[in-house]
Amino acid sequence: MTSQMADVIIRASALSKTYSVKEGRARKQVQALRSFDLEVKTGEMFGLIGPDGAGKTTFMRILCGLLLPDSGQVAVLGFDPVTQQHKIKQDIGYMPQRFSLYQDLTVEENLNFFTDIFQVPRQERSARTQRLLEFSRLGPFSKRRAGALSGGMKQKLALSCTLIHTPKLLILDEPTTGVDPVSRGEFWDILGELQQQGVTILVSTPYMDEAARCDRVALTYAGQILALGTPDQIAGQFPHQLVRIFTRQPYDVAAALRQLEILHSVELYGDHVTVALDDPVTVVEIIRKNLDKRGYSYTSIDSGQADLEDTFVYLMRQLSQATQPELGNDLDSHAK
């Protein structure tokens, strides 16, 4: 992690963006960003966390000058990304969700192509390409066609192509979605090395384990920022105590516990159910009796501290219940 991060490299103030979306025969207005305020400091690893439709991609495209906001102000490296894009394009690297590699070109040929795109000086091209091949661990595969690479290797190649002009700011839109866990870990190790070299990284991800590796994160939902801070600071905002129930019948257990009015919330997370409560000693005994009575099996019921994911789901539910109560039970699908 970077210890000194005084300068602001991205500053957004009151950004708003609305799309007109066709729905059947009619069109409706969808607000992607709502008075979005955010600052990213030079040298930090900053994470944008949120489900699809949270506004992450819209925000990143505005930063790159690819999209105009409806209102608000934004500065990247001190410049307006729309009217002064020529002053920042050599200092930013943008890797969208669907980075277009040339499948019939080899790894090395793809890198060479991007040296042309970014007009890398000819005397530097060979050295940069070799450095990136080594850095991305793709050296042994330099002659392999991009179409024959694994998902993780394709993402490493896409990152290398984005880095070919040595940007100061790296903007990555969900770079590891659909990539296997081992490759995800390797990819984030590379990002950590880049940060140590002084590159500022803004990355969006739906994965909470990745979010925990960032210096700071913004939890985003429905175009708004729900919380901003370090992962530990945000996890500390959870207002209740937690109990996790590990079971092979998570859906049945969750449905049963949601009938208990003494619980603040019941959330479903794959192989376990998380319950928010204020009196764990008394309430856990009530939970045990309730599940035993219904014949539901469980391997353990453990008390624990809230993490980033627990807080995010709690904040999303609070917002949904305040603005759109009918969405309250649909939030389980947003946590990964």
Q: For the sheet with 300-304, list strands across it.
A: 265-269, 272-277, 241-246, 300-304
Q: pLDDT digits over 195-244, tens only?
A: 999 999 999 998 889 999 999 999 999 899 999 999 999 999 988 888 89
- For the chain, domain boundaries: 8-234, 237-334
DSSP label of 331: G
| C-alpha to C-alpha distance for 279 and 269, rounded to whole angstroms | 22
| C-alpha to C-alpha distance for 58 and 68, rounded to whole angstroms | 10
Burial track 194-212 (b if 16+ CB lie within 10 A, e otherwise): bbeeebbbbbbbbbbebbb
| CATH of region 237-334 | 3.30.70.980
pTM for the structure as a whole:
0.85
- The pair of structure tokens assigned to 95 is 């890797």
Q: pLDDT digits over 59-105, tens only?
A: 999 999 999 999 999 999 999 998 998 899 889 999 998 877 889 99
pLDDT > 90? residue 24: no
Query: Would the CATH topology of 8-234 be identical to that of 237-334?
Result: no
DSSP state string for 235-287: HTT--SEEEEEE-S-HHHHHHHHTT-TT-SEEEEETTEEEEEES-HHHHHHHH
| C-alpha to C-alpha distance for 50 and 97, rounded to whole angstroms | 14
Q: pLDDT digits over 137-164, tens only?
A: 899 999 999 999 998 899 999 999 999 9
| CATH of region 8-234 | 3.40.50.300
